[in-house]
Chains A and B, each alone.
Chain A
Amino acid sequence: MEALAALTLAVLVTCGVYLVLRARTFPVVLGLSLLSYAVNLFLFFTGRLVTGAPPLAGGALPTADPLPQALVLTAIVIGFGMTAFVVILALRARGELGNDHVDGKGDGQ
């Protein structure tokens, strides 16, 4: 199971990094989203893979680690804020510069 989790993360990160390195804004946004998924999952996995024990206090049994979960919860929401910011930045760049190249260079240049 651990190897599978690691492999999944590796694929997500590889795809994310490859997209981040593209020359157009939209794939960069997609890549950043993939990277945030991967990072959130990685943080979540630091609490290890616990089945069927949500972190609710009061029970007798040990539960999953609540700390990474709390970190990841805010990270997801902040990640949305970041994605939104980058998307709007890309739109603004297109509006100002007339193209969607990450360096703002027109297609002819």
Chain B
Amino acid sequence: MNLLFIVLLPLLGALLPPLAIRFGRSASAWTATAITAAALLLAVEPMAAVFAGTPAEAHWPWLPQAGLDIHLRMDGLAALFVLLILGIGLLVILYARYYLSERDPMGRFYGMLLLFMGAMLGIALSDHLLQLLVFWELTSLSSFLLISYWHHRSDARRGARMALAITGAGGLAMLAGFLLLGHIVGSYQISVILDSGDLIRAHPLYAPMLLLVLMGAFTKSAQFPFHFWLPHAMAAPTPVSAYLHSATMVKAGVFLLARLYPALSGTELWFFVVGGVGLATLLVAAYTALFKHDLKGLLAYSTISHLGLITLLFGIGTPLAAVAGVFHIINHAIFKASLFMAAGIIDHETGTRDMRLINGMWKYMPHTATLAMVAAASMAGVPLLNGFLSKEMFFAETLHLAPLGSFNWALPAAATLAGIFAVAYSARFIHDVFFNGEPIDLPKYPPHEPPRYMKVPVEILVALCLLVGILPALTVAPLLAVAAGAVLNGPLPEYSLAIWHGFNTPFVMSLIALAGGIALYTQRQKLFDFHDHVFPFPDARAMFWVAIERLMDAAQAATRALENGSLQRYAALLLLAAVAAVAWPFLDSAAPLAGPVPAAPIDALTLLGALVMMAAAVVTTVWQRQRLTAVIALSVVGLVVSLAFVRWSAPDLALTQLSVEVVTIVLLLLALYFLPQRAAADSSNLRRGRDLLLALGVGGGVGLITWAMLTRPYTTIANYFVENSLPGGGGANVVNVILVDFRGFDTMGEITVLAIAAIGIFALLDNLRLDMPATDGGGRPWSSERHPVVLSQLTRFLLPLALLVSVYLFLRGHNAPGGGFIAGLVTAVALILQYMASGIEWTRQRWQVQYHPMLAAGVLIAAATGLGSWLFDRPFLTSAFGHFHLPLAGEFELATAMLFDLGVYLTVVGVVMLILANLGKLTQRSAGEGGA
């Protein structure tokens, strides 16, 4: 349970600092501190278990059928990262309290920082690949927000976009890799995957899977050639860099390498890709770092270089190298976080980060200078500091590599070269900033020591550098042992964390690196000239922006080509695509189109009906410009459709279709009053021919599919409904029982949709102004007799009869054709007749019903019926029914489903009347205006 709260606490707590800022900046900082500290306290208990040898696990089922559950697990590696994330997080919170200026919105900063922290903890603790990926993307998103924290600066926005684009793209590749990995193993649970290493490595999909997963890890950890986003992310406030770009986010990539190490490593491919990329990153970034004049730029490239070192260590693939990799993760996090903080202090106090300007800081801030120099020495790998220990292990591991054959001298040489550059850029950091004469044109002068508490986090980290460097066995050894044990997923190799291993080759390499680095630094001016003039290194950032611009241009061109604002064109393209998508599998398949079922004979009446229907459809189309004729022809099609329902045993459908047909035609006639009744032909022959071809394609396709379906044997899933209709639903009309009982929830959704459509229509009709034609299309004036006497008298007489019929249809609906839908439509038709025959005013005076409340009542009654079953501890919409005996009336049946059906009835009446009565009102206004 603790594990879940470790992750949730920062994620949910992210909301609090922005609220707490009302009580002052310190309140906001304290809130963030308290949340982080609480998460750290929660982590104590599972960590104790991890150190005792049993990983803590937690599991909550969510969708077990799909293998999607919440799996959390804390083993040694996860414990190490939780410690780094929360520990350095606490220091960064303290640091940021003094770093951010009065103008910066601090609450937002802490909120986003906590969000990021929770996401990072989620990555560390996830025991499920897809769950890990969700947190992975969450770190990309929250780091985007953090990098663009000063969003008024364009470099911050661009840097954030670049980071998001690169890490987001990597995340997508990784998702594909994870899906493959899950497919290979048959489980997404990481602890299962770690035990399936042999299966994974032998699988034919191993290579693509590995490359995709590595894409994610490399982009996140800024490995060559995706490294260029990290220096641009330095536009972030320095606490963000100290946290994200030293200890946490960029470590997520190497964390993934370490996490999946037992499952993926141990192949040539792994060795060459991971090792090769790591080596390239190590060298390129160490070289580049030396030439950066920006303080944070130097640190950024140094970070990339160290990440390359860690990647290379995992790539080497020996157990000892993996131990060294884990060790360097710890050491780098400690010294690089403190260096970033020191750089932030210098930036804060001098107003610039340009090392050509900042010189001689030793005089102004000796305390900070001492701290920064110790940390930089650790970065360079000077003995007695923690960086030295892992670097020695790294040098030792490069010495014995079988896969390189006769080139086995190359790796130690490259490692030493990288070591030389590391010493050189560390020396530059120390010498350029703290010595090297006097500062030049500082924006803030004279610089002085920062506030006391701003240095505390740096002091703690530097103290750790020394403690780990001098007393490794007493400090870091247990943590390293559990973490490395988790990475190896097996026994640990023999290693010793002593400071002095004798005068051996790695020590010689260290000495060469130190001496060479200092020598290189003294000759830096020549090197700078060489770098500036001779070495036009391809600018990855420029290439990235060019690529992005091209992509945007292509996207816009595609959009312009496809989206020209013509609905006809969209519809045509959509239909064409549909025809192609449906036809494609048929073209490939060898199966005959017609099925084995013999054709039934055609009777004359059916043939006649079909011919009438087809003829009416064709008439509708051909005479579509004579719009009244087209509507009449359309109604013929509708009538034959209802006859077809009668012909093939669907009385409910026939009744529904018939009554809907009436209201539809009334609607279309009303609409036609406001639209041109005749239209000129305005399509070219070419377009008509093209549309006809497309229409024939779609129609022919539908016909063929229908034929293929009807000639195939038939199985139904409806037997359950037929068998349980009477015993379970208490009704003999299975269609109605399905609607109001078995699938009542669907019906509930459907009447809600209807209600929404009616409200939408009401909104569209609101304030609608339309030109009222004074004459019909032929120039004839409208009839002066607006309400013919015969019609109005007849409809008044018919109304009670029609209502009676609808009540009858409603009541019998459960057992015989009828029901709420049909009864509602019949009622609506009867009411509309009154409006049409006697006028809206006349009807409104006698029938004072508002249709909105009716609509609402209908939906609410249906919902309440459903909720009612909860009172009896039954699922939503369980129906009950019983048979009752009344004297005189005899046996009758009541079912709660009828109440539901009443809701349906009211909704349908409300919808139809709301639409038609309001549309009718428009004509009344015009008639009033026109007649006056």
Q: Which of B599-653 contact A (CB under 8 A)?
A: 599-602, 606-607, 610, 613-614, 617-618, 620-621, 624, 627, 630-631, 634, 637-638, 641, 644-645, 647-653
B 747-767 binary contact with A (CB < 8 Å = 1; else 0): 100100110011011001100
Q: How far is the CA of A14 from the CA of B601 in the complex (A)?
A: 25
Interface size class of B (residues with CB under 8 A): 35 or more
Q: In the assembly, what is the distance between CA of A17 and CA of B627, in Å? A: 17
A6-B706, A91-B674 given; A81·B721 CB < 8 A: no
B675 and A94 form a contact (CB under 8 A): yes
Q: In this assembly, does B304 line the interface, its C-beta being within 8 Å of a C-beta of chain A?
A: no
Distance of A53 Cα from B711 Cα, bound (Å): 20
The answer, yes or no, to whether B504 is at the interface (CB within 8 Å) is: no
CB <8 Å contact, A9 and B911? no
Q: How far is the CB of A98 from chain B (nearest CB, A)?
A: 8
Q: Is the CB of B692 within 8 A of A18?
A: yes
Q: Are A80 and B700 in contact (CB under 8 A)?
A: no
User: Which residues in chain A, 14-31, are within 8 Å of chain B measured between CB atoms?
Assistant: 14-27, 29-30
Known contacts A14-B698, A66-B738, A91-B770; decide if A30 and B602 are in contact (CB<8 Å).
Answer: no
Q: Would you give the shortest CB distance from A29 to chain B, in whole angstroms?
A: 7
Q: Could you say which of B567, B614, B676, B739 contacts A70, with CB atoms under 8 Å apart?
A: B739
Residues on B with beta carbons closer than 8 Å to the beta carbon of A9: 699, 702-703, 706
**B-side contacts of A37, CB under 8 Å:** 637-638, 641
Q: Is the CB of B641 within 8 A of A74?
A: no
Question: Are A77's CB and B722's CB within 8 A?
Answer: no
On whether the beta carbons of A30 and B634 are closer than 8 Å, the reply is yes
Number of interface residues of A (CB under 8 A): 83
Residues of A near B567 (CB, < 8 A) are: 102-103
**Is B525 in contact with chain A by the CB < 8 A criterion?**
no
**Chain B residue with the shortest CB-CB distance to A53:** B649
B675→A91 contact, CB < 8 A: yes
Asked if B668 is at the interface (CB within 8 A of a chain A CB), the reply is: yes
Asked whether A66 lies within 8 Å of B735 as measured between CB atoms, the reply is yes
Majority SS at the chain A contact face: helix
Contact of A66 with B706 in the complex, beta carbons under 8 Å: no
B565 at interface by CB-CB < 8 Å: yes
| Chain A residues closer than 8 Å to B340, beta-carbon distance | none
In the complex, B102 has a CB within 8 A of chain A: no
B841 at the interface (CB under 8 A from A): no
- Asked if B753 and A1 make an inter-chain contact with CB atoms under 8 angstroms apart, the answer reads no
Judge whether A85 and B675 touch: CB under 8 Å: no
Alpha-carbon separation in the docked complex, A39 to B42 (Å): 59
A41 and B637 contact, Cβ closer than 8 Å, known pairs A49-B600, A66-B718, A88-B761: no
Kindly supply a per-residue 1/0 record for chain B positions 638-674, scoring 1 wherever the CB is within 8 Å of any chain A CB and 0 otherwise: 1001001101111111001100100110011001101
List of A residues within 8 angstroms of B776 by Cβ: none
* Given A1-B601, A92-B768, A103-B565; A70-B647 close (CB under 8 Å): no
Given A6-B704, A44-B648, A66-B734 in contact, is the A54-B817 Cβ separation under 8 Å?
A: yes
**B622: nearest residue on chain A (CB-CB)?**
A15
Q: Is B743 part of the contact surface with A, judged by Cβ < 8 Å?
A: yes
Are A54 and B668 also in contact (CB < 8 A) when A21-B568, A23-B683, A81-B757 are?
Answer: no
Question: Do B617 and A12 have beta carbons less than 8 Å apart?
Answer: yes
Contact assessment for A24 and B679 in the assembled complex, using a CB-CB cutoff below 8 Å: yes
A54 with B649: in contact, given A14-B700, A85-B761 (CB under 8 Å)?
yes
Q: Is the CB of A7 within 8 A of B675?
A: no
Give chain B residues whose Cβ lies under 8 Å from the Cβ of A82. 757
Stretch at the interface among B26-34, B162-170, B449-457, B725-733: B725-733
B572 at the interface (CB under 8 A from A): yes
Q: Is the CB of A89 within 8 A of B703?
A: no
Known A-B contacts A51-B649, A65-B716; the reply to A23 vs B702 at CB < 8 A is no
Which of B599, B650, B734, B754 is in CB contact (< 8 Å) with A1? Answer: B599
B668 touches A87 (CB 8 A): yes
* Contact, CB under 8 Å: B618 / A10: no
Q: Chain A, 64-86, contact with B by CB distance < 8 Å: what is the 0/1 string?
A: 11110110111011111111110
Contact status B621-A18, CB under 8 Å: yes
Residues of A within 8 A of B711 (CB): 2
Question: Which of B599, B694, B717, B769 touches A3 (beta carbons < 8 Å)?
Answer: B599
Set of chain A residues within 8 Å of B696, measured between Cβ atoms: 14
**Whole-angstrom distance between the Cβ of A101 and the nearest chain B Cβ:** 9
Identify A7's interface contact among B566, B610, B620, B638, CB under 8 A.
B610
Instruction: A74 to B754: give the CA distance in the assembly, Å.
Output: 10
B718 touches A67 (CB 8 A): yes
B600 & A1 in contact (Cβ 8 Å cutoff) = yes
Residues of A24-69 whose CB lies within 8 A of B: 24-27, 29-30, 33-34, 37-38, 40-42, 44-58, 63-67, 69
B706 & A81 in contact (Cβ 8 Å cutoff): no
Q: Are A90 and B753 in contact (CB under 8 A)?
A: no
The answer to whether B672 touches A26, judged by C-beta atoms less than 8 angstroms apart, is: yes
Residue of B nearest to A82 (CB): B757
Question: In the complex, A85→B631 CA distance in Å?
Answer: 17
Contacting pair A95 B682 (CB below 8 A): no
Instruction: Tell whether B816 is near chain A: CB-to-CB under 8 Å.
Output: yes
Contact in complex: A11, B706 (CB < 8 Å): no
A residues in contact with B652, CB < 8 Å: 69, 73
Question: CB within 8 A of B726: which of A6, A25, A40, A57?
Answer: A57
For residue A23, which residues in chain B have a CB less than 8 angstroms away from its CB? 568, 682-683
Closest to B651 in A: A54
Which of A11, A26, A64, A87 has a CB less than 8 Å from the CB of B679?
A: A26
User: Are B733 and A45 within 8 A (Cβ)?
Assistant: no
**A66: nearest chain-B partner, CB-CB:** B734
CA A64 to CA B651, docked complex, whole Å: 11
Question: Please, how many angstroms separate the alpha-carbon atoms of A64 and B648 in the complex?
Answer: 8
Contact of A91 with B768 in the complex, beta carbons under 8 Å: yes
Given A44-B645, A55-B649, CB of A17 within 8 Å of CB of B694: yes
- Determine the chain B residues whose CB is within 8 A of the CB of A38 once the complex forms: 702
A13 x B765 contact (CB < 8 A): no
Docked complex Cα distance between A4 and B601 (Å): 10
Contacts of B618 in A (CB 8 A): 11, 15
Chain B residues contacting A49 (CB-CB under 8 Å) are: 600, 648, 710
The distance in angstroms between the C-alpha atoms of A98 and B668, with both chains bound, is: 19
Q: Are A94 and B674 in contact (CB under 8 A)?
A: yes
Chain A residues with CB under 8 A of B663: 80
Check A81–B572 contact: CB distance below 8 A.
Answer: no
- Smallest CB gap from A33: residue in B: B634
Cβ-defined contact, B722 with A57, below 8 A: yes
Chain B hits for A89, CB < 8 A: 764
Output the residue of A12, A45, A58 with the most chain B CB within 10 A: A12
Give bound CA distance, A104 to B758, whole Å: 23
The answer to whether B648 and A11 touch across the interface, beta carbons within 8 angstroms, is no
Task: State A8–B711 Cα separation when bound (angstroms).
Answer: 16
- Which residues on A sit within 8 Å (CB–CB) of B345? none
Q: In the complex, A81→B760 CA distance in Å?
A: 10
* Distance (whole angstroms) from the CB of B234 to the closest CB of chain A: 50
- Whole-angstrom distance between the alpha carbons of A82 and B750 in the complex? 12
- With A25-B675, A78-B753, A102-B568 as known contacts, state yes or no: A84 contacts B667, CB within 8 Å: yes
- Nearest neighbor of B613 in chain A, beta-carbon distance: A8
Contacts of B414 in A (CB 8 A): none
Closest Cβ–Cβ distance, residue A39 to chain B (whole Å): 9
Contact B703 A6 (CB under 8 A): yes
Which residues does chain A contribute within 8 Å of B601, judged by CB atoms?
1
Closest A-chain residue to B665, C-beta based? A33
Residues of A within 8 A of B532 (CB): none
A2 CB to closest chain B CB (Å) equals: 4
Q: Given the known A-B contacts A2-B599, A88-B764, are A77 and B821 also in contact in the complex, defined by CB atoms under 8 Å?
A: yes
Central interface residue in B735, B743, B908, by most chain A CB within 10 Å: B735
Q: State in angstroms the CA–CA spacing of A40 and B706 once bound together.
A: 12
Could you list 9 A-B pairs, sorted by A, with CB under 8 Å? Answer: A2-B597, A6-B710, A13-B702, A16-B617, A41-B644, A73-B656, A88-B671, A91-B674, A103-B567
Q: Spell out A's residues near B (CB within 8 Å).
A: 1-27, 29-30, 33-34, 37-38, 40-42, 44-58, 63-67, 69-70, 72-74, 76-85, 87-92, 94-95, 100, 102-103, 107
5 new A-B contacts at CB < 8 Å, known A21-B694, A42-B706 = A16-B699, A24-B676, A66-B734, A70-B735, A73-B652
